[in-house]
Structure 1
């Protein structure tokens, strides 16, 4: 598939399709649309490009994307069928500016759901409240609330999941008030670990100018840095694991 895209579009004005790039981060950060074909398996570029603000263009017939269909991928990506690769340039050119802006706005939230920030560190100083681990926990909870429901119907059936999926939980003040309310009801208050963004385990110094996120200090924070995700492995109640934003 990559070879076909290269053969058909490598020399097309406005496209950059190259066998190898020495400016990968710059490319992702400056392009409007980024190709996300299958690779070594299902592929991971849809996650990488989304985190840098580039609209993913998945070309993956019969392959679901991460958390699809519970997350509405059509709102923040441009899926292209393999048979339509020759028309890729017209498909992208026909997208009106209003839809592009809407997809970019939706991607700001959706990209956070795709990255395992609380396990492997953040990129843009995020705290992990919407990361892939939290998304998995919320999705399992929604499925438990609606057993037997079709996955694509959860957004309409479950207001809690819809609010989380659109990153509308509110700020830390709202979360703190909710925790206080739990305590006033006689329930055990959630364990807290302090507010602040996650550190990163990235090894590319070139990322610093795009994502000035501090590197994790393994000597102080242990293998996984700030609590979350993998730190909860083996916990009696994984749903009560301390989260970085609490």
Structure 2
């Protein structure tokens, strides 16, 4: 079980190094990339910063949300897990998920496509559950949210040949895989961000294609949401308001929409692992003595990416975390004392 490995790592750190006890682990970081992030973290490490893709604060969804039973953490006893939430926005951070690089999207600058070319009001393409062909059989998949969205706005027929109750031409909610998925997102104004068995990567898809994210997952943080001003570039809709989705989105006037699109365009690279992609390009250049087209496309990008943003967040926390102000310890910086 994953919890056991983390507990063994904790035991090793405490026994072999002096650093843990001086801050009770608060200056340590642990990465949990599972669908439900740090929900299964052992209680001993909870003081640390959790790096996750799933920011469930458990304010609404208090139990395991996955429909994939091997990952369900409800049965972990409290004497091992403790009683912590899956995510604490005061100390933890949701990082973007890795997305397979799409050179065509970068070359076409889909992220920069203007408002006039975004004809679809709302777009979501993904698994919609048991009512659809090849859908996940569990009713609990996506906490039932994708199913609820499809019941209202499904734009392709389900197994019974039925469309959504409010199906409308400029709203696409489909389970049909599309070879032009990215272009379709780039032709849309708003794009749905809903969970799967935990995180789903739809926030990243929206941002990388310049589409305003519409987040439908109550009490669950998205990448950098406790750092960035999400109201400036994303929309949150309560799960209970899914039937009112279209009317809510139609209330945003063109001035607000243009402002949000502009903000998406200004920060989209913070959801892209550009530096990792370029490191691979360097490796392949050394092996094959040439640059592929994808390497050339990504080398043209220059704004802060995921890793740069992560370092900026850590730097901010270094000087602003309240608990650090209680320390009386002088930390070595490596600089000459005359310069500090």
Query: TM-score range, shorter-chain basis?
Result: 0.5 to 0.7
Post-superposition offset of 1:13: 2.8
Verify: 1:140 aligned to 2:296, yes or no. no
Could you say which residue in structure 2 is the equivalent of 1:9? Answer: 153
| Count of residue correspondences | 150
5+ unaligned residues in a row in structure 1: which ranges? 150-186, 188-246
Aligned residue runs from structure 1 range 7-86, under 5 A: 7-10=151-154, 11-22=167-178, 23-86=180-243
Post-superposition offset of 1:110: 2.2
Task: For residues 180-207 of structure 1, give each alpha carbon's deviation from its aligned partner in whole angstroms, at most 9, with x where no partner exists.
Answer: xxxxxxx9xxxxxxxxxxxxxxxxxxxx
CA 1:86/1:124 → structure 2, altered by over 3 Å: closer, same or farther?
farther
| Rounded Cα–Cα distance in structure 2 between residues aligned with 1:20 and 1:105 | 30
Per the alignment, in what secondary structure is the counterpart of residue 90 of structure 1? helix
Post-superposition offset of 1:147: 2.4
| Rounded Cα–Cα distance in structure 2 between residues aligned with 1:19 and 1:115 | 25
Post-superposition offset of 1:93: 0.6
Could you say which residue in structure 1 is the equivalent of 2:304? Answer: 130
Per the alignment, in what secondary structure is the counterpart of residue 169 of structure 2? coil
5+ unaligned residues in a row in structure 2: which ranges? 1-144, 155-166, 279-294, 324-338
TM-score (ref. length: structure 2): 0.42
Task: For residues 108-158 of structure 1, give each alpha carbon's deviation from its aligned partner in whole angstroms, at most 9, with x where no partner exists.
Answer: 122211221111358765545410100000111011122219xxxxxxxxx
Spell out structure 1 runs of 4+ moving beyond 6 A: none
Task: For residues 94-114 of structure 1, give each alpha carbon's deviation from its aligned partner in whole angstroms, at most 9, with x where no partner exists.
Answer: 111100000001001222112
CA contact 1:33–1:54 (8 Å) conserved in 2 = yes
| Rounded Cα–Cα distance in structure 1 between residues aligned with 2:150 and 2:269 | 30
CA contact 2:274–2:298 (8 Å) conserved in 1 = no
CA 1:45/1:125 → structure 2, altered by over 3 Å: closer, same or farther?
farther
TM-score (ref. length: structure 1): 0.57
CA contact 1:76–1:110 (8 Å) conserved in 2 = no
| Rounded Cα–Cα distance in structure 2 between residues aligned with 1:18 and 1:39 | 15
CA 1:135/1:83 → structure 2, altered by over 3 Å: closer, same or farther?
same
CA contact 1:113–1:135 (8 Å) conserved in 2 = yes
| Rounded Cα–Cα distance in structure 1 between residues aligned with 2:171 and 2:303 | 35
Verify: 1:109 aligned to 2:266, yes or no. yes
CA contact 1:76–1:104 (8 Å) conserved in 2 = yes
| Rounded Cα–Cα distance in structure 1 between residues aligned with 2:256 and 2:169 | 22
CA 1:137/1:72 → structure 2, altered by over 3 Å: closer, same or farther?
same
Task: For residues 67-118 of structure 1, give each alpha carbon's deviation from its aligned partner in whole angstroms, at most 9, with x where no partner exists.
Answer: 1121111111111110110100001111111000000010012221122111
Task: For residues 207-229 of structure 1, give each alpha carbon's deviation from its aligned partner in whole angstroms, at most 9, with x where no partner exists.
Answer: xxxxxxxxxxxxxxxxxxxxxxx
CA contact 1:31–1:54 (8 Å) conserved in 2 = yes
